[in-house]
Structure 1
Amino acid sequence: MSGKWSKLKKTLSINATGTAAAAPSSKLPPTVPDQSKSRPPTSSSSSSFSSRLSSSFSLSSSSKKICAICLGIVKIGLGQAIFTAECSHSFHFSCISCSVKHGNHLCPICRLKWKEIPSQLPDINANADHNTHGQGQVSPPQATFENHNYPRAQPEPSRYSDDEPLPVIRTDTTPAFEHARAPSSNLVIKAFPEFPAVAAAESVSDFAVLVGVRAPPLLDATDQVDRASIDLVLVLDVSGSMDGAKLFLMKRAVYFIIDNLGPGDRLSLVSFSSSASRIFPLLRMTDTGREDAKQAVTSLDAVGGTNIIEGLKKGIRVLNERRERNSVASIILLSDGKDTYHNDAIIRGRKNHNSSTATSVLNILLASVFSQNGEHINDAHLPTLPIHTFGFGADHDSSAMNGISDASGGTFSFIETVDTMREAFARCIGGLLSVSAQELRLTLSSASSGVRIRSISSGRYAKEISEGGLIGLIQIGDMYADEEKEFLVNLSIPPWLVLKGDEWVKRMSLLKITCSFKDIVSKVTMQVEGVSVEVSRPKVLSMAENILSLEVDRQRNRLWVADGISEAREMADAGNFSGAQAVLSNRMSTLLSSASAQAGDSLCSWLQCELMEIRERMANLEIYNRTGRSYVLSGISSHSLQRATTRGDSGNLASLGYETPSMVGMVSKSQNLSLPNPP
């Protein structure tokens, strides 16, 4: 306790008459003025505190922190809830809430006017929680945030339907607006057959075709009209293990997100420790909204246990119960620990180290959310709210975090060091703020008699083969600007001895590819006629017609390596590290001997670096448990969606896969910002 009292003495500057002036709060974000330099005069309503305040200062030699109102000891674990104000002064919650009830909104010690104030007396019979170190303590209630557009000192509503209305979009029908861009012409579809020709008399049961799509670019990344506005909920871990530099840098990372949201975007903040609280409603990020959101982030303190499930439940509720909806909605979940309040399900997930158990945890979570509205949910009807999870440090539950992102359609990132947190968030929102196509799907149709679709390698994207292999469908959904997706489609091809009149037809159509998507500018569903895939059918193949397509080969290498990483991970989870090393070595040998690797393909070089990094992180049980599992799961998440995730430290090449120009630009922006030294 002597250390805490020393901090209090540093915070308070006491003059000879017993009055104090508070030092500027170190928690204020850089954009918020230092309010301590312009103090309001002491109000008459606070004069009753003076004698007790002087008494509290006389205890400077004591090792205990004193409530300036009742002069009692302020200490967690004594059965009383504690309120810590934005100026860092702490009081018994019952004492300060009574003072606030009578209209006192100034700190009794430093006279700072609070922007967030306690709203109600907590349940005095609340059970003691447990922090991450197993010590019993009472979780402090969250201060209700005072916003310009919402009533002061209101508790959390029973239903989160208090989202700020979306801005009214002016309908401009001028030709310049209607034809600002031609979205269908900016979307690119490509296809490459495995070989340019197949002998006419030959039938092939497994012929590969690479099918790819690239989303339209943004004409101007700063133009709010040219991208989809988003509804974003940040679910943040503020348990005791986040105290210090972790909390400091997390706040800076969230400030960065806030600064890069536009007036059409809406943000909500949920914090969780032993319990969860929505500390900021879903509001537009106007100048006022950004300032208020930063103040809410500034008020966060790290204390208590880790209740991930309750935090996630509130985050999902914010999006499910909103009255109006932006076209893109996502949740970002950050945690550095394991859920200490849902032990049975989480322990099973850690024991099995597979995503199926964590997925069942998520299904239970979603079922509990929907049951409040009398609705039923099952595995086939999970809500389409992608949850992008960020496991931070060596102690987070990577299996559960990856399972949550996997089941929801989001990505899992592994933040290995505290100083890369802002960069990890920047990479994620660089994508979310650049959605240029929605509800995108590819339709594959057999173009000749006897051609059948046998399989589609689509990762986590939903696929369907119907009508006996005549039709194939790949559901991609949202795509970021300039983002590319590539899929291998395996066909069966019959012999081709077709005559047209007296002439032999020497070319055969295999597939016709079309695409549909909703353009984010016009909100109209666009139909794009794609390409037709053809091969020659000569009687005898020439040497030039028997050359493998490098595009198909490099994609086959990517799938081969990703499959090997998943296989090695299963072995490592079972403790078979020698077997895992053998699998990785075998995949690397096959990769390096491939035609595309021999041609110096950049994707193959990146895959080689990834395999080498994973081998190092699977060297033994200690290294694998500390960082290896998280690194591997983040890589599997990235490959399955062909979308960039953060893995390990910022200098790792494996973090750079699948990055789009918008992601690269946002990461560079975050790296160019100066960062104050953390506490």
Structure 2
Amino acid sequence: MLWQRRRDREPAYIVDDEMLPSAISIPSSCLPKVDVMAIPQYPNVIASAPPERFSVLFRINAPSMSEYPDYHPLKRAAIDLVLVLDFNGYIDKKSLKHVRKVVCYVIDHLSSSDRLSIVSSYPKDKKVLPLCLMTEQGKESAKQTVSKLIFTKGPIDAVKVLKIAARILEKRRYKNAVAFIMLLSDRRDQCIIQNQGSSNGEKAIEYLDNLPYSIYPQFSKEMNRNFFKYDIFPVYAFGIGPYHNPVGLHALCSATGGTYSSLETSELLLDAIACCLGGLLSVVTLEFSLTLTQGTVDVEILELNSGDFYSIIRDMEGTSADIKVGNILADEAKEFLIQVSLPKHEIDVLQSESILTFRWAYKDAVTYSGTEVQYFHAVDIGRPQRLPGPLFHYESIQVTRQSICLLVADSISKALNMAEASGVKSARKFLLDIESEITERGSVDHSHSLCRWILDGMREVVRRMERGELGFKRGGHAYALSILSSYDTQRTTITGSPVDLQDHPFQTPNTIEMVRKSRYAQGIRR
């Protein structure tokens, strides 16, 4: 019996992942730095009459790949990528051709230090390519595998397919600095196919509860203490066609820090994959975390607006908080709006008051040495007894912009819940009222790409709601979730139709360049 248990026990490692090449070291003195800047809502606040809530905007700026020494061949982290092809057999020959072309595009743009594995929903929900280095030989083998891919009609076990992908990364003997899962899916949402006016959101994601922690984490107190001790692999999902399950895909990506893109047709798949791949092939920072601590006594941290990134206020008094960002891309900027309450003072505080101290820590992904670096700074504001004019005259425009964008994103999210609970008509009216409120405020900076993008996104959600319940479910809901995924991760997604990335607020030089290459490959000269 003991022998039987040992035989049935799952092996500690998968033995078919290919060994990694030797790493190239870079002296710490040659490594570029990740910068963090804090922008208070007002530079000065009356000592005896602070606002009920005071905002601080934290802006993180990652270095460019060009800042790394030329002798490093990649100037980025090497990656382990599992590509999951989740198609149910209704895919036509033209779409299958697009899928094969997309997978070959991914193969062509991986380096000899990157590894790729492919998992397919057919045949028999299995790994069709083990984790292989993308050397010339590895690429040729991978392309031969892709050329043989077929999909047949019939039931697909989505959980089984994703479990296989997770296990490949969990059980690796050798590990590159970062690992991701790309999920291409046309899995059909029966509520849309059967013309049901609405679907139960909980039902749409209930199958995710059967997934392993590494791709659908349930956060715990233990995780709060040592967040990066646990492997979580970001899932980047691409839902194809009007009938796929946007709620499930979005929930999966949101839980892991990946992004969800909605594609109306398979023709958009190459641009979408290229955009995502441009980001994944430019990771320069690992395990980035931002820790906030009360400065002056009685300053209380009230709220952390961190989107899909894990965050926690560590005590009831709001004296400290954490935001866990994880991987950061080259040239990437991330912003987090924090709300605090300020104490009252009956006398002037000497010159300035440190309301918060903040520490940021991370590991360099290019060297992958495991060494953590830390930096400290403080948020200082003046606390005079009086100001020469009204307080709002001194409000930071950066804080105002982010506050409006946060309001719009929250409103889209609320509208989706409202559409499910009481119908699209009431949700549409709610968004129109929000748009009127913002217009009346007159504080929108239309020259700023983020403000312009999120407001245009909300208007497009409203337009798609005009189609009614079923019309909105066939593409509109997916569009809205893709917009939210982009905002909550502060990364580019494709939302339904082709996008001019030059004007997208979260584009980076690497995403733009990779999309340019994809369009060149398609014969599009723009």
By the TM > 0.5 criterion, same fold?
Answer: yes
- Equivalent in the alignment of 2:4: none
1:484 matches 2:333: yes
Question: Alignment partner of 2:66: what SS?
Answer: coil
**Amino acid in structure 1 at the alignment position of 2:22:** V
1:536 matches 2:370: no
Deviations 1:116-162 (A, max 9, x none): xxxxxxxxxxxxxxxxxxxxxxxxxxxxxxxxxxxxxxxxx997431
**Amino acid in structure 2 at the alignment position of 1:516:** A
Give the conservation status (yes or no) of the 8 Å contact 2:76–2:365.
yes
1:520 matches 2:358: no
**Amino acid in structure 2 at the alignment position of 1:168:** S
Q: Residues of 2 paired with 1:437 and 1:211: CA distance?
A: 17
Question: Alignment partner of 2:462: what SS?
Answer: helix
Distance 1:498 1:470, change over 3 A: farther
- Equivalent in the alignment of 1:494: 343
Give the alignment partner of residue 356 of structure 2, picking from 508, 511, 514. 511
- CA shift at 1:656, angstroms? 2.9
- CA shift at 1:601, angstroms? 3.0
1:290 matches 2:135: no
**Amino acid in structure 2 at the alignment position of 1:614:** V
- CA shift at 1:528, angstroms? 3.9
- Equivalent in the alignment of 1:83: none
Give the alignment partner of residue 175 of structure 2, picking from 325, 337, 341. 325
Unpaired segments of 5 or more residues in structure 2? Answer: 1-10, 224-229
Q: What does 1:24-35 align with in structure 2 at a 5 Å threshold? A: none
Q: Residues of 2 paired with 1:653 and 1:622: CA distance?
A: 30
Give the alignment partner of residue 401 of structure 1, picking from 237, 242, 249. 249
- Equivalent in the alignment of 1:607: 454
Provide the aligned length of Structure 1 versus Structure 2.
Answer: 496
**Amino acid in structure 1 at the alignment position of 2:107:** I
Q: Residues of 1 paired with 2:410 and 2:279: CA distance?
A: 26
Question: Alignment partner of 1:366: what SS?
Answer: coil
- CA shift at 1:675, angstroms? 5.3
Q: What does 1:589-608 align with in structure 2 at a 5 Å threshold? A: 589-594=436-441, 596-598=443-445, 600-608=447-455
- CA shift at 1:264, angstroms? 0.7
Instruction: Report the aligned-residue RMSD.
Output: 3.0
1:262 matches 2:111: yes
Give the conservation status (yes or no) of the 8 Å contact 1:213–1:486.
yes
1:212 matches 2:26: no
Q: Residues of 2 paired with 1:642 and 1:249: CA distance?
A: 28
Give the alignment partner of residue 511 of structure 2, picking from 663, 670, 676. 663
- CA shift at 1:197, angstroms? 1.3
- Equivalent in the alignment of 2:259: 411
- CA shift at 1:359, angstroms? 4.8
- Equivalent in the alignment of 1:167: 21
Deviations 1:403-462 (A, max 9, x none): 222233321110112211000001111111111111000011222222221221112212
Q: What does 1:371-410 align with in structure 2 at a 5 Å threshold? A: 380=220, 383-410=231-258
Give the conservation status (yes or no) of the 8 Å contact 1:275–1:311.
no
Give the conservation status (yes or no) of the 8 Å contact 1:230–1:433.
yes
- CA shift at 1:633, angstroms? 1.4
- Equivalent in the alignment of 2:39: 192
- CA shift at 1:530, angstroms? 4.4
**Amino acid in structure 1 at the alignment position of 2:59:** G
Question: Alignment partner of 1:247: what SS?
Answer: helix
- Equivalent in the alignment of 1:106: none
Give the conservation status (yes or no) of the 8 Å contact 1:617–1:623.
yes
Q: Residues of 1 paired with 2:210 and 2:266: CA distance?
A: 32
Question: Alignment partner of 2:21: what SS?
Answer: coil
Q: Residues of 2 paired with 1:584 and 1:654: CA distance?
A: 27
**Amino acid in structure 1 at the alignment position of 2:181:** I
Give the conservation status (yes or no) of the 8 Å contact 1:440–1:476.
yes
Q: Residues of 2 paired with 1:197 and 1:228: CA distance?
A: 42
Distance 1:365 1:557, change over 3 A: same
- CA shift at 1:572, angstroms? 2.1
**Amino acid in structure 1 at the alignment position of 2:362:** F
Q: Residues of 2 paired with 1:256 and 1:263: CA distance?
A: 15
**Amino acid in structure 2 at the alignment position of 1:283:** C
Range with greater deviation from structure 2 (448-457 or 474-483): 448-457
Range with greater deviation from structure 2 (653-662 or 412-421): 653-662
Give the conservation status (yes or no) of the 8 Å contact 1:442–1:514.
yes
- CA shift at 1:179, angstroms? 5.5
Distance 1:532 1:180, change over 3 A: closer
Distance 1:358 1:366, change over 3 A: farther
Distance 1:636 1:364, change over 3 A: same
1:473 matches 2:322: yes
Q: Residues of 2 paired with 1:253 and 1:267: CA distance?
A: 14
Q: Residues of 1 paired with 2:17 and 2:358: CA distance?
A: 41
Question: Alignment partner of 1:426: what SS?
Answer: helix
Give the alignment partner of residue 363 of structure 1, picking from 186, 203, 209. 209
**Amino acid in structure 1 at the alignment position of 2:454:** L
- CA shift at 1:544, angstroms? 7.6
Range with greater deviation from structure 2 (544-553 or 633-642): 544-553
Give the conservation status (yes or no) of the 8 Å contact 1:359–1:406.
no
Give the conservation status (yes or no) of the 8 Å contact 2:12–2:171.
no
Deviations 1:251-284 (A, max 9, x none): 1111111111011100001111473121111000
Q: Residues of 2 paired with 1:203 and 1:612: CA distance?
A: 36
- CA shift at 1:301, angstroms? 1.7
Higher relative contact order (CA 8 A, sep 6+): 2
- Equivalent in the alignment of 2:159: 309
- CA shift at 1:318, angstroms? 1.3
Give the conservation status (yes or no) of the 8 Å contact 2:58–2:336.
yes
- Equivalent in the alignment of 1:554: 401
Give the conservation status (yes or no) of the 8 Å contact 1:609–1:653.
no
- Equivalent in the alignment of 2:410: 563
- Equivalent in the alignment of 1:133: none
Question: Alignment partner of 2:242: what SS?
Answer: coil
Q: Residues of 2 paired with 1:242 and 1:668: CA distance?
A: 27
Q: Residues of 2 paired with 1:318 and 1:259: CA distance?
A: 22
1:464 matches 2:312: yes
Question: Alignment partner of 1:205: what SS?
Answer: coil
Deviations 1:286-315 (A, max 9, x none): 111111111111111232225122221221
Give the conservation status (yes or no) of the 8 Å contact 2:285–2:329.
yes
- Equivalent in the alignment of 1:139: none
Range with greater deviation from structure 2 (423-432 or 397-406): 397-406
Deviations 1:38-89 (A, max 9, x none): xxxxxxxxxxxxxxxxxxxxxxxxxxxxxxxxxxxxxxxxxxxxxxxxxxxx
Distance 1:198 1:648, change over 3 A: same
Q: Residues of 1 paired with 2:231 and 2:208: CA distance?
A: 11
- CA shift at 1:657, angstroms? 3.9
- CA shift at 1:627, angstroms? 0.6
1:424 matches 2:272: yes
Distance 1:170 1:333, change over 3 A: closer
Q: Residues of 2 paired with 1:477 and 1:517: CA distance?
A: 8
Range with greater deviation from structure 2 (660-669 or 464-473): 464-473
Give the conservation status (yes or no) of the 8 Å contact 1:257–1:429.
yes
Give the conservation status (yes or no) of the 8 Å contact 2:61–2:331.
yes
Structure whose alpha-carbon radius of gyration is higher: 1
Distance 1:446 1:166, change over 3 A: same
Q: Residues of 2 paired with 1:410 and 1:465: CA distance?
A: 23
Give the conservation status (yes or no) of the 8 Å contact 2:122–2:150.
no
**Amino acid in structure 2 at the alignment position of 1:429:** L
- CA shift at 1:351, angstroms? 6.3
- Equivalent in the alignment of 1:640: 488
